[in-house]
Chain A
Amino acid sequence: MATRQTRTLARFMVAPSVIILFVWMIVPLVLTLWYSLQRYNLLHPDRGGFVWFRNYYFFLTDPDFVQAIGNTLILVVGVLVITVVGGILLALLLDQPVWGQGIVRLLVIAPFFVMPTVSALVWKNMLMHPQYGILAGIWSAFGMRPVAWLTDYPLFSVIVITAWEWLPFATLILLTALQSLDEDQKEASEMDGANFINRFIYIILPHLARAVTVIILIETIFLLGIFAEIFVTTQGGPGSASTNLPYLIYVQALLNYDVGGASAGGVIAVILANIVAIFLIRIVGKNLDA
Protein backbone atom coordinates (compact mmCIF):
# COMPACT_ATOMS: atom_id res chain seq x y z
CA MET A 1 0.00 0.00 0.00
CA ALA A 2 2.48 2.57 1.19
CA THR A 3 4.39 3.99 -1.72
CA ARG A 4 7.97 5.17 -1.49
CA GLN A 5 6.73 8.72 -1.49
CA THR A 6 4.49 8.30 1.53
CA ARG A 7 7.28 6.46 3.30
CA THR A 8 9.67 9.37 2.80
CA LEU A 9 7.01 11.75 3.96
CA ALA A 10 6.38 9.59 7.03
CA ARG A 11 10.05 9.68 7.93
CA PHE A 12 10.08 13.41 7.50
CA MET A 13 7.14 13.72 9.88
CA VAL A 14 8.66 11.55 12.58
CA ALA A 15 12.10 13.13 12.41
CA PRO A 16 11.52 16.34 14.43
CA SER A 17 10.20 14.49 17.47
CA VAL A 18 12.96 11.91 17.35
CA ILE A 19 15.67 14.53 16.95
CA ILE A 20 14.60 16.78 19.81
CA LEU A 21 14.03 13.79 22.10
CA PHE A 22 17.43 12.42 21.19
CA VAL A 23 19.18 15.73 21.79
CA TRP A 24 17.28 16.23 25.05
CA MET A 25 18.42 12.83 26.19
CA ILE A 26 21.96 12.64 24.90
CA VAL A 27 23.40 16.13 25.51
CA PRO A 28 22.63 16.35 29.24
CA LEU A 29 23.53 12.70 29.71
CA VAL A 30 26.98 13.13 28.16
CA LEU A 31 27.49 16.29 30.20
CA THR A 32 26.46 14.48 33.37
CA LEU A 33 28.98 11.74 32.58
CA TRP A 34 31.68 14.33 31.90
CA TYR A 35 31.02 16.32 35.08
CA SER A 36 30.93 13.14 37.12
CA LEU A 37 34.61 12.58 36.35
CA GLN A 38 35.60 16.13 37.31
CA ARG A 39 36.28 17.92 40.50
CA TYR A 40 33.74 20.65 40.05
CA ASN A 41 32.31 22.67 42.91
CA LEU A 42 30.54 25.93 42.20
CA LEU A 43 31.93 27.38 45.43
CA HIS A 44 35.54 26.60 44.43
CA PRO A 45 35.68 27.18 40.70
CA ASP A 46 39.48 27.47 40.86
CA ARG A 47 39.95 23.88 42.06
CA GLY A 48 39.04 21.83 39.02
CA GLY A 49 40.46 18.92 37.14
CA PHE A 50 39.92 15.38 36.08
CA VAL A 51 39.58 13.02 39.02
CA TRP A 52 38.45 9.81 37.30
CA PHE A 53 36.10 7.89 39.60
CA ARG A 54 36.75 9.75 42.84
CA ASN A 55 33.24 11.24 42.82
CA TYR A 56 31.72 7.79 42.41
CA TYR A 57 33.87 6.49 45.23
CA PHE A 58 32.69 9.26 47.54
CA PHE A 59 29.09 8.93 46.51
CA LEU A 60 28.93 5.15 46.76
CA THR A 61 30.71 4.99 50.12
CA ASP A 62 28.50 7.73 51.55
CA PRO A 63 26.22 6.04 54.11
CA ASP A 64 23.49 8.42 52.98
CA PHE A 65 23.64 6.86 49.55
CA VAL A 66 22.89 3.36 50.77
CA GLN A 67 20.05 4.70 52.82
CA ALA A 68 18.73 6.73 49.89
CA ILE A 69 18.66 3.65 47.66
CA GLY A 70 16.83 1.73 50.37
CA ASN A 71 14.38 4.57 50.92
CA THR A 72 13.73 4.88 47.18
CA LEU A 73 12.88 1.18 46.94
CA ILE A 74 10.72 1.18 50.08
CA LEU A 75 8.89 4.23 48.79
CA VAL A 76 8.18 2.73 45.37
CA VAL A 77 7.22 -0.73 46.62
CA GLY A 78 5.22 0.61 49.56
CA VAL A 79 3.13 2.92 47.44
CA LEU A 80 2.67 0.25 44.75
CA VAL A 81 1.39 -2.30 47.28
CA ILE A 82 -1.00 0.16 48.94
CA THR A 83 -2.38 1.52 45.68
CA VAL A 84 -2.80 -1.83 43.92
CA VAL A 85 -4.37 -3.68 46.87
CA GLY A 86 -6.41 -0.67 47.95
CA GLY A 87 -7.32 0.03 44.35
CA ILE A 88 -8.67 -3.47 43.80
CA LEU A 89 -10.78 -3.31 46.97
CA LEU A 90 -12.09 0.14 46.10
CA ALA A 91 -12.83 -0.83 42.52
CA LEU A 92 -14.79 -3.88 43.69
CA LEU A 93 -16.81 -1.63 45.99
CA LEU A 94 -17.48 1.05 43.39
CA ASP A 95 -18.43 -1.54 40.79
CA GLN A 96 -21.57 -2.34 42.82
CA PRO A 97 -24.76 -0.43 42.17
CA VAL A 98 -24.62 2.62 44.45
CA TRP A 99 -26.81 5.69 44.85
CA GLY A 100 -24.92 8.74 43.69
CA GLN A 101 -22.28 6.70 41.87
CA GLY A 102 -21.19 9.66 39.78
CA ILE A 103 -20.45 11.83 42.78
CA VAL A 104 -18.70 9.02 44.63
CA ARG A 105 -16.44 8.54 41.61
CA LEU A 106 -15.65 12.24 41.45
CA LEU A 107 -14.73 12.33 45.13
CA VAL A 108 -12.51 9.28 44.87
CA ILE A 109 -10.47 10.42 41.86
CA ALA A 110 -10.06 14.02 43.05
CA PRO A 111 -6.69 13.57 44.85
CA PHE A 112 -5.04 12.59 41.57
CA PHE A 113 -5.53 16.11 40.24
CA VAL A 114 -4.08 17.87 43.26
CA MET A 115 -0.56 19.17 42.62
CA PRO A 116 2.10 17.39 44.72
CA THR A 117 3.18 20.53 46.56
CA VAL A 118 -0.39 21.19 47.69
CA SER A 119 -1.09 17.66 48.87
CA ALA A 120 2.23 17.50 50.70
CA LEU A 121 1.59 20.82 52.46
CA VAL A 122 -1.99 19.99 53.36
CA TRP A 123 -0.98 16.65 54.84
CA LYS A 124 2.02 18.14 56.61
CA ASN A 125 0.07 20.93 58.27
CA MET A 126 -3.61 20.29 58.56
CA LEU A 127 -3.53 16.51 58.94
CA MET A 128 -0.17 15.44 60.39
CA HIS A 129 0.71 18.44 62.55
CA PRO A 130 1.52 16.98 65.98
CA GLN A 131 -0.38 19.71 67.83
CA TYR A 132 -3.15 21.15 65.70
CA GLY A 133 -3.54 18.49 63.00
CA ILE A 134 -6.72 16.50 62.46
CA LEU A 135 -4.94 13.23 63.21
CA ALA A 136 -3.64 14.66 66.47
CA GLY A 137 -7.24 15.68 67.26
CA ILE A 138 -8.51 12.17 66.60
CA TRP A 139 -5.70 10.62 68.64
CA SER A 140 -6.42 12.83 71.63
CA ALA A 141 -10.15 12.22 71.32
CA PHE A 142 -9.39 8.54 71.89
CA GLY A 143 -7.14 9.40 74.79
CA MET A 144 -3.90 8.55 72.99
CA ARG A 145 -0.84 10.75 72.71
CA PRO A 146 -0.70 12.49 69.32
CA VAL A 147 2.02 11.21 67.02
CA ALA A 148 4.64 13.50 65.47
CA TRP A 149 4.27 11.78 62.11
CA LEU A 150 6.87 13.63 60.09
CA THR A 151 9.64 13.49 62.70
CA ASP A 152 9.01 10.03 64.15
CA TYR A 153 7.85 8.19 61.03
CA PRO A 154 9.14 10.36 58.18
CA LEU A 155 9.38 7.75 55.43
CA PHE A 156 6.08 6.18 56.38
CA SER A 157 4.43 9.61 56.26
CA VAL A 158 5.81 10.29 52.80
CA ILE A 159 4.52 6.90 51.67
CA VAL A 160 1.05 7.68 53.03
CA ILE A 161 0.94 11.06 51.29
CA THR A 162 2.15 9.62 47.99
CA ALA A 163 -0.21 6.65 48.20
CA TRP A 164 -3.11 9.04 48.74
CA GLU A 165 -2.13 10.80 45.51
CA TRP A 166 -1.89 7.61 43.47
CA LEU A 167 -4.70 5.50 44.92
CA PRO A 168 -7.32 7.24 42.74
CA PHE A 169 -5.29 6.52 39.63
CA ALA A 170 -5.10 2.80 40.40
CA THR A 171 -8.76 2.67 41.41
CA LEU A 172 -9.94 4.37 38.25
CA ILE A 173 -7.98 2.05 35.97
CA LEU A 174 -9.03 -1.09 37.87
CA LEU A 175 -12.64 0.03 37.90
CA THR A 176 -12.58 0.54 34.16
CA ALA A 177 -11.06 -2.91 33.72
CA LEU A 178 -13.68 -4.46 36.03
CA GLN A 179 -16.50 -2.91 34.08
CA SER A 180 -15.27 -4.54 30.89
CA LEU A 181 -15.62 -7.98 32.49
CA ASP A 182 -18.06 -10.12 30.60
CA GLU A 183 -21.42 -10.22 32.43
CA ASP A 184 -22.24 -13.64 30.99
CA GLN A 185 -19.08 -15.09 32.40
CA LYS A 186 -19.91 -13.72 35.84
CA GLU A 187 -23.44 -15.09 35.69
CA ALA A 188 -22.31 -18.47 34.44
CA SER A 189 -19.93 -18.83 37.34
CA GLU A 190 -22.66 -17.80 39.76
CA MET A 191 -24.97 -20.44 38.29
CA ASP A 192 -22.23 -23.00 38.72
CA GLY A 193 -22.25 -22.13 42.40
CA ALA A 194 -18.93 -20.33 42.63
CA ASN A 195 -18.82 -18.18 45.72
CA PHE A 196 -17.32 -14.70 45.77
CA ILE A 197 -13.82 -15.81 46.78
CA ASN A 198 -13.67 -18.36 43.98
CA ARG A 199 -14.99 -15.90 41.46
CA PHE A 200 -12.47 -13.34 42.61
CA ILE A 201 -9.49 -15.68 42.32
CA TYR A 202 -10.40 -17.46 39.10
CA ILE A 203 -12.26 -14.86 37.09
CA ILE A 204 -11.80 -11.31 38.37
CA LEU A 205 -8.12 -11.38 39.28
CA PRO A 206 -6.88 -12.83 35.97
CA HIS A 207 -9.03 -10.29 34.17
CA LEU A 208 -7.33 -7.48 36.09
CA ALA A 209 -3.78 -8.70 35.40
CA ARG A 210 -3.27 -6.42 32.44
CA ALA A 211 -4.55 -3.36 34.28
CA VAL A 212 -2.29 -4.11 37.24
CA THR A 213 0.72 -4.40 34.91
CA VAL A 214 -0.01 -1.02 33.43
CA ILE A 215 -0.47 0.55 36.87
CA ILE A 216 2.86 -0.83 38.05
CA LEU A 217 4.63 0.49 34.95
CA ILE A 218 3.25 3.99 35.06
CA GLU A 219 3.43 4.44 38.81
CA THR A 220 7.03 3.20 38.90
CA ILE A 221 8.03 5.79 36.32
CA PHE A 222 6.64 8.55 38.49
CA LEU A 223 7.47 7.12 41.91
CA LEU A 224 11.18 6.68 41.17
CA GLY A 225 11.31 10.44 40.77
CA ILE A 226 9.32 11.48 43.84
CA PHE A 227 10.69 14.86 44.86
CA ALA A 228 8.15 17.53 45.75
CA GLU A 229 6.53 15.46 48.51
CA ILE A 230 9.88 15.19 50.33
CA PHE A 231 11.02 18.70 49.47
CA VAL A 232 7.93 20.19 51.07
CA THR A 233 7.42 17.92 54.08
CA THR A 234 10.55 16.44 55.65
CA GLN A 235 13.39 17.94 53.58
CA GLY A 236 14.78 14.42 53.56
CA GLY A 237 15.14 14.30 57.32
CA PRO A 238 15.44 13.87 60.16
CA GLY A 239 19.04 13.15 59.20
CA SER A 240 18.55 11.27 55.98
CA ALA A 241 15.68 9.10 57.18
CA SER A 242 13.41 10.10 54.31
CA THR A 243 15.98 11.02 51.65
CA ASN A 244 15.49 9.22 48.36
CA LEU A 245 17.88 9.25 45.43
CA PRO A 246 16.44 12.30 43.65
CA TYR A 247 16.45 14.30 46.85
CA LEU A 248 20.03 13.26 47.71
CA ILE A 249 21.25 14.42 44.30
CA TYR A 250 19.32 17.65 44.64
CA VAL A 251 21.04 18.30 47.97
CA GLN A 252 24.47 17.59 46.46
CA ALA A 253 23.91 19.80 43.44
CA LEU A 254 21.85 22.78 44.52
CA LEU A 255 22.58 22.96 48.25
CA ASN A 256 26.21 21.77 48.41
CA TYR A 257 27.09 23.06 44.93
CA ASP A 258 29.05 19.85 44.34
CA VAL A 259 28.44 19.42 40.61
CA GLY A 260 30.88 16.52 40.29
CA GLY A 261 29.39 14.51 43.14
CA ALA A 262 25.81 15.20 42.10
CA SER A 263 26.61 14.16 38.53
CA ALA A 264 28.05 10.87 39.75
CA GLY A 265 24.80 10.36 41.65
CA GLY A 266 22.85 11.22 38.53
CA VAL A 267 24.70 8.60 36.49
CA ILE A 268 24.00 6.01 39.18
CA ALA A 269 20.32 6.98 39.21
CA VAL A 270 20.14 6.57 35.44
CA ILE A 271 21.75 3.13 35.62
CA LEU A 272 19.36 1.98 38.35
CA ALA A 273 16.35 3.33 36.49
CA ASN A 274 17.46 1.51 33.36
CA ILE A 275 17.65 -1.78 35.18
CA VAL A 276 14.07 -1.31 36.31
CA ALA A 277 13.04 -0.05 32.89
CA ILE A 278 14.36 -3.09 31.03
CA PHE A 279 12.07 -5.34 33.02
CA LEU A 280 9.09 -3.05 32.76
CA ILE A 281 9.38 -2.28 29.05
CA ARG A 282 9.52 -5.99 28.30
CA ILE A 283 6.42 -6.75 30.29
CA VAL A 284 4.53 -3.84 28.81
CA GLY A 285 5.68 -4.59 25.28
CA LYS A 286 4.38 -8.12 25.67
CA ASN A 287 1.11 -7.01 27.20
CA LEU A 288 0.39 -4.29 24.68
CA ASP A 289 0.91 -6.63 21.75
CA ALA A 290 -1.90 -8.87 22.90
Chain B
Amino acid sequence: MAREATIQRKITVTAAAWVVALVIFFPILWTILTSFKSEGDAINLSHFFSTPWTIDSYFEVQSRSDYFHHFFNSVIISIGSTVLALLFSIPAAWSMAFAPTSRTRDLMMWMLSTKMMPAVGVLVPIYLIFKTLGLLDNVWGIMSILMLMNLPIVVWMLYTYFKEIPVDILEAARMDGATLGKELVYVLVPMAVPGIASTMLLNIILAWNEAFWTLNLTTINAAPLTAFIASYSSPEGLFWAKLSAASTLAIAPILVLGWISQRQLVRGLTFGAVK
Protein backbone atom coordinates (compact mmCIF):
# COMPACT_ATOMS: atom_id res chain seq x y z
CA MET B 1 0.00 0.00 0.00
CA ALA B 2 2.54 2.55 1.17
CA ARG B 3 4.87 1.42 -1.58
CA GLU B 4 2.26 2.00 -4.24
CA ALA B 5 1.62 5.46 -2.86
CA THR B 6 5.29 6.39 -3.10
CA ILE B 7 5.52 5.11 -6.66
CA GLN B 8 2.45 7.06 -7.63
CA ARG B 9 3.96 10.11 -6.00
CA LYS B 10 7.21 9.60 -7.84
CA ILE B 11 5.36 9.41 -11.16
CA THR B 12 3.58 12.68 -10.48
CA VAL B 13 6.74 14.45 -9.36
CA THR B 14 8.69 13.08 -12.31
CA ALA B 15 6.06 14.30 -14.75
CA ALA B 16 6.00 17.75 -13.16
CA ALA B 17 9.79 18.02 -13.09
CA TRP B 18 10.11 17.01 -16.73
CA VAL B 19 7.44 19.45 -17.88
CA VAL B 20 9.09 22.33 -16.02
CA ALA B 21 12.55 21.35 -17.27
CA LEU B 22 11.38 21.16 -20.86
CA VAL B 23 9.64 24.53 -20.64
CA ILE B 24 12.85 26.12 -19.33
CA PHE B 25 14.97 24.38 -21.94
CA PHE B 26 12.50 25.06 -24.73
CA PRO B 27 14.08 28.24 -26.19
CA ILE B 28 17.39 26.41 -26.61
CA LEU B 29 15.73 23.32 -28.05
CA TRP B 30 13.74 25.44 -30.49
CA THR B 31 16.89 27.25 -31.59
CA ILE B 32 18.58 23.96 -32.35
CA LEU B 33 15.55 22.69 -34.28
CA THR B 34 15.17 25.91 -36.26
CA SER B 35 18.82 25.78 -37.31
CA PHE B 36 18.00 22.68 -39.37
CA LYS B 37 15.28 24.41 -41.42
CA SER B 38 15.40 26.48 -44.57
CA GLU B 39 14.65 30.20 -44.06
CA GLY B 40 11.15 29.87 -45.48
CA ASP B 41 10.22 26.87 -43.36
CA ALA B 42 11.74 28.33 -40.20
CA ILE B 43 8.92 30.86 -39.78
CA ASN B 44 6.20 28.44 -40.87
CA LEU B 45 5.04 27.31 -37.45
CA SER B 46 2.01 25.34 -38.52
CA HIS B 47 4.06 23.00 -40.72
CA PHE B 48 7.27 23.13 -38.73
CA PHE B 49 7.67 19.39 -38.31
CA SER B 50 6.47 18.30 -41.74
CA THR B 51 8.88 20.45 -43.79
CA PRO B 52 12.29 19.00 -44.72
CA TRP B 53 15.37 19.30 -42.52
CA THR B 54 18.66 20.67 -43.84
CA ILE B 55 22.11 21.68 -42.67
CA ASP B 56 22.58 24.41 -45.28
CA SER B 57 22.35 27.21 -42.72
CA TYR B 58 25.50 26.02 -41.02
CA PHE B 59 27.49 26.24 -44.23
CA GLU B 60 26.05 29.63 -45.02
CA VAL B 61 26.91 31.03 -41.61
CA GLN B 62 30.50 30.01 -42.16
CA SER B 63 30.83 31.20 -45.75
CA ARG B 64 28.97 34.48 -45.32
CA SER B 65 30.24 35.75 -42.02
CA ASP B 66 33.26 33.62 -41.22
CA TYR B 67 32.01 31.99 -38.04
CA PHE B 68 35.36 30.37 -37.27
CA HIS B 69 37.14 33.71 -37.17
CA HIS B 70 34.87 34.80 -34.32
CA PHE B 71 34.95 31.40 -32.70
CA PHE B 72 38.73 31.50 -32.45
CA ASN B 73 38.54 35.04 -31.11
CA SER B 74 36.23 33.78 -28.37
CA VAL B 75 38.58 30.90 -27.59
CA ILE B 76 41.66 33.11 -27.47
CA ILE B 77 40.00 35.86 -25.44
CA SER B 78 38.33 33.63 -22.87
CA ILE B 79 41.26 31.27 -22.33
CA GLY B 80 43.84 34.06 -22.56
CA SER B 81 42.12 36.29 -20.04
CA THR B 82 41.63 33.35 -17.68
CA VAL B 83 45.25 32.26 -17.81
CA LEU B 84 46.42 35.84 -17.25
CA ALA B 85 44.06 36.21 -14.30
CA LEU B 86 45.34 32.94 -12.81
CA LEU B 87 48.96 34.07 -13.13
CA PHE B 88 48.18 37.13 -11.05
CA SER B 89 45.80 35.57 -8.58
CA ILE B 90 47.35 32.21 -7.71
CA PRO B 91 50.23 33.80 -5.75
CA ALA B 92 47.89 36.36 -4.23
CA ALA B 93 45.24 33.87 -3.11
CA TRP B 94 47.92 31.48 -1.97
CA SER B 95 49.62 33.92 0.34
CA MET B 96 46.33 35.27 1.66
CA ALA B 97 45.15 31.76 2.46
CA PHE B 98 48.37 30.54 4.10
CA ALA B 99 49.93 33.68 5.53
CA PRO B 100 46.96 35.87 6.39
CA THR B 101 47.60 39.21 8.04
CA SER B 102 45.23 41.42 9.95
CA ARG B 103 44.42 43.21 6.71
CA THR B 104 43.68 40.17 4.54
CA ARG B 105 39.96 40.32 5.20
CA ASP B 106 39.70 43.99 4.28
CA LEU B 107 41.78 43.39 1.19
CA MET B 108 39.45 40.60 0.08
CA MET B 109 36.42 42.79 0.66
CA TRP B 110 38.03 45.64 -1.27
CA MET B 111 38.69 43.33 -4.19
CA LEU B 112 35.08 42.20 -4.22
CA SER B 113 33.93 45.80 -4.05
CA THR B 114 35.80 46.63 -7.27
CA LYS B 115 33.41 44.18 -8.92
CA MET B 116 30.59 46.41 -7.73
CA MET B 117 31.85 49.29 -9.81
CA PRO B 118 29.54 49.43 -12.82
CA ALA B 119 31.35 48.98 -16.10
CA VAL B 120 29.55 52.00 -17.57
CA GLY B 121 31.23 54.20 -14.99
CA VAL B 122 34.55 53.68 -16.74
CA LEU B 123 33.32 53.03 -20.28
CA VAL B 124 34.16 56.53 -21.55
CA PRO B 125 37.80 56.75 -20.42
CA ILE B 126 38.53 53.14 -21.32
CA TYR B 127 37.05 53.70 -24.75
CA LEU B 128 39.11 56.87 -25.27
CA ILE B 129 42.31 55.30 -23.93
CA PHE B 130 41.82 52.31 -26.21
CA LYS B 131 41.16 54.63 -29.12
CA THR B 132 44.36 56.57 -28.48
CA LEU B 133 46.45 53.45 -28.06
CA GLY B 134 44.88 51.75 -31.07
CA LEU B 135 43.52 48.95 -28.89
CA LEU B 136 39.94 49.18 -30.14
CA ASP B 137 38.98 45.97 -31.89
CA ASN B 138 42.23 44.41 -30.71
CA VAL B 139 42.35 40.92 -29.20
CA TRP B 140 44.97 41.89 -26.60
CA GLY B 141 43.00 44.91 -25.50
CA ILE B 142 39.76 43.06 -24.89
CA MET B 143 41.67 40.18 -23.30
CA SER B 144 43.26 42.43 -20.70
CA ILE B 145 39.96 44.14 -19.90
CA LEU B 146 38.25 40.79 -19.30
CA MET B 147 41.20 39.68 -17.19
CA LEU B 148 40.79 42.73 -14.94
CA MET B 149 37.00 42.28 -14.87
CA ASN B 150 37.23 38.77 -13.54
CA LEU B 151 40.34 39.04 -11.39
CA PRO B 152 38.49 39.69 -8.12
CA ILE B 153 36.25 36.67 -8.67
CA VAL B 154 39.21 34.47 -9.51
CA VAL B 155 41.08 35.56 -6.38
CA TRP B 156 38.02 34.90 -4.24
CA MET B 157 37.38 31.48 -5.70
CA LEU B 158 40.97 30.37 -5.40
CA TYR B 159 41.13 31.70 -1.85
CA THR B 160 38.17 29.61 -0.75
CA TYR B 161 39.70 26.51 -2.34
CA PHE B 162 43.17 27.07 -0.88
CA LYS B 163 41.68 27.81 2.51
CA GLU B 164 40.51 24.20 2.68
CA ILE B 165 43.96 22.70 2.25
CA PRO B 166 44.91 21.63 5.77
CA VAL B 167 48.11 23.30 6.95
CA ASP B 168 48.83 20.37 9.29
CA ILE B 169 49.57 18.16 6.37
CA LEU B 170 52.46 20.43 5.39
CA GLU B 171 53.92 20.13 8.85
CA ALA B 172 53.54 16.38 8.71
CA ALA B 173 55.39 16.31 5.41
CA ARG B 174 58.12 18.45 6.88
CA MET B 175 58.43 16.15 9.87
CA ASP B 176 58.86 13.26 7.48
CA GLY B 177 61.82 15.13 6.02
CA ALA B 178 60.31 16.56 2.87
CA THR B 179 62.20 19.49 1.40
CA LEU B 180 60.37 22.58 0.26
CA GLY B 181 60.58 21.40 -3.35
CA LYS B 182 59.16 17.99 -2.53
CA GLU B 183 56.51 19.56 -0.38
CA LEU B 184 55.43 21.66 -3.31
CA VAL B 185 55.44 18.91 -5.93
CA TYR B 186 53.99 16.02 -3.91
CA VAL B 187 51.72 17.71 -1.40
CA LEU B 188 50.65 21.19 -2.32
CA VAL B 189 50.21 21.04 -6.08
CA PRO B 190 48.09 17.87 -6.13
CA MET B 191 45.83 19.39 -3.51
CA ALA B 192 45.57 22.74 -5.24
CA VAL B 193 45.02 21.53 -8.81
CA PRO B 194 41.31 20.64 -8.54
CA GLY B 195 40.50 24.07 -7.15
CA ILE B 196 42.53 25.83 -9.82
CA ALA B 197 40.94 23.70 -12.54
CA SER B 198 37.39 24.47 -11.55
CA THR B 199 38.18 28.15 -11.09
CA MET B 200 39.61 28.13 -14.58
CA LEU B 201 36.59 26.39 -16.06
CA LEU B 202 34.12 28.81 -14.48
CA ASN B 203 36.12 31.81 -15.51
CA ILE B 204 36.30 30.66 -19.10
CA ILE B 205 32.51 30.39 -19.10
CA LEU B 206 32.13 33.90 -17.67
CA ALA B 207 34.60 35.37 -20.17
CA TRP B 208 33.04 33.51 -23.09
CA ASN B 209 29.64 35.04 -22.33
CA GLU B 210 30.78 38.54 -21.34
CA ALA B 211 28.77 40.99 -23.42
CA PHE B 212 29.38 44.55 -22.31
CA TRP B 213 33.01 45.16 -23.13
CA THR B 214 33.04 42.81 -26.09
CA LEU B 215 30.12 44.70 -27.65
CA ASN B 216 31.57 48.14 -26.98
CA LEU B 217 35.26 47.60 -27.70
CA THR B 218 35.27 45.23 -30.69
CA THR B 219 33.78 45.41 -34.16
CA ILE B 220 35.24 42.87 -36.60
CA ASN B 221 38.87 41.86 -36.16
CA ALA B 222 38.72 41.02 -32.48
CA ALA B 223 34.98 40.44 -32.23
CA PRO B 224 34.16 37.26 -30.31
CA LEU B 225 30.92 35.30 -30.74
CA THR B 226 28.90 37.63 -28.49
CA ALA B 227 29.47 40.55 -30.88
CA PHE B 228 29.14 38.32 -33.93
CA ILE B 229 25.68 37.17 -32.83
CA ALA B 230 24.61 40.72 -32.01
CA SER B 231 25.20 41.61 -35.67
CA TYR B 232 22.21 39.40 -36.47
CA SER B 233 19.85 41.74 -34.64
CA SER B 234 19.16 43.87 -37.70
CA PRO B 235 15.48 44.76 -37.67
CA GLU B 236 14.83 44.15 -41.36
CA GLY B 237 14.54 40.65 -42.74
CA LEU B 238 14.06 37.35 -40.99
CA PHE B 239 17.05 35.06 -41.05
CA TRP B 240 15.96 32.72 -38.32
CA ALA B 241 17.58 29.59 -39.67
CA LYS B 242 20.95 31.28 -40.03
CA LEU B 243 20.51 33.06 -36.72
CA SER B 244 19.72 29.73 -35.08
CA ALA B 245 22.65 27.97 -36.68
CA ALA B 246 25.03 30.72 -35.56
CA SER B 247 23.52 30.67 -32.06
CA THR B 248 23.76 26.91 -31.76
CA LEU B 249 27.40 27.03 -32.77
CA ALA B 250 28.07 29.85 -30.33
CA ILE B 251 26.56 28.18 -27.27
CA ALA B 252 27.35 24.53 -27.91
CA PRO B 253 30.98 24.48 -26.70
CA ILE B 254 30.28 26.40 -23.53
CA LEU B 255 27.12 24.43 -22.80
CA VAL B 256 29.16 21.24 -22.77
CA LEU B 257 31.81 22.85 -20.58
CA GLY B 258 29.12 24.16 -18.25
CA TRP B 259 27.44 20.81 -17.90
CA ILE B 260 30.75 19.21 -17.04
CA SER B 261 31.51 21.80 -14.40
CA GLN B 262 28.06 22.09 -12.82
CA ARG B 263 29.12 20.46 -9.56
CA GLN B 264 31.87 23.02 -9.00
CA LEU B 265 29.68 25.82 -10.29
CA VAL B 266 27.77 26.38 -7.08
CA ARG B 267 30.64 26.53 -4.64
CA GLY B 268 32.73 28.51 -7.11
CA LEU B 269 30.19 31.19 -7.83
CA THR B 270 29.13 31.55 -4.22
CA PHE B 271 32.75 31.79 -3.07
CA GLY B 272 32.33 28.65 -1.02
CA ALA B 273 29.38 30.05 0.92
CA VAL B 274 27.07 27.35 -0.43
CA LYS B 275 28.42 23.86 -0.91
Q: Considering the complex, which residues of chain A in the window 107-143 have a beta carbon less than 8 Å from any beta carbon of chain B?
A: 107-127, 132, 134, 137
Q: Within 8 Å CB of A164, what residues of B?
A: 24, 27
B148 interface hit (Cβ, 8 Å): yes
Closest residue on chain A to residue B247 by CB atoms: A118
Give Cα distance in the complex from A180 to B272, angstroms.
Answer: 14
Contact with A along B102-113 (1 / 0, CB 8 A): 000001010111
A137 and B45 within 8 A (CB): yes
**Interface contact tally, CB-CB below 8 A:** 296
Q: Which of B116-170 touch A at CB < 8 Å?
A: 116-129, 148, 151-152, 155
For residue B54, CB closer than 8 A to chain A, the reply is: no
Q: Is A195 part of the binding interface, using a Cβ–Cβ cutoff of 8 Å?
A: no
Q: Are A115 and B254 touching (Cβ within 8 A)?
A: yes
Interface of B is mostly: helix
Tell me whether A14 and B91 are in contact (CB under 8 A): yes
In the complex, A216→B121 CA distance in Å?
22
Complex interface bits, B244-256 against A, C-beta within 8 A gives 1, otherwise 0: 1001001100110
Q: When each residue 42-63 of chain B gets 1 if its CB lies under 8 Å from chain A and 0 otherwise, what string results?
A: 0101100000000000000000
Q: Which of A10, A96, A218 has the most CB of B within 10 A?
A: A10
Assess whether A56 is interfacial by the CB under 8 Å rule: no
Task: Indicate if A75 sits at the interface (CB-CB under 8 A).
Answer: no
| A110 & B18 in contact (Cβ 8 Å cutoff) | no
Given contacts A29-B121, A254-B216, contact A172 B94 (CB under 8 A): no
B121 touches A98 (CB 8 A): no
Residues of A within 8 A of B88 (CB): 16-17, 20
Residues in A lying within 8 Å of B, measured CB to CB: 2, 6-7, 9-11, 13-14, 16-18, 20-21, 24-25, 27-29, 31-32, 35, 90, 93-94, 96-101, 103-127, 132, 134, 137, 164, 167-169, 172-173, 176-177, 180, 210-211, 214, 218, 221, 224-225, 227-228, 231-233, 245-246, 249-250, 253-254, 259, 262-263, 265-267, 269-270, 273-274, 276-277, 280-281, 284-285, 287-288
Interface residues of B (CB under 8 A from A): 10, 13-14, 16-18, 20-22, 24-25, 27-28, 30-31, 34, 43, 45-46, 88-89, 91-92, 94-96, 98-99, 101, 107, 109, 111-129, 148, 151-152, 155, 205, 208-209, 211-212, 215-216, 225-227, 229-230, 232-233, 238, 240, 243-244, 247, 250-251, 254-255, 257-259, 262, 265-267, 269-271, 273-275
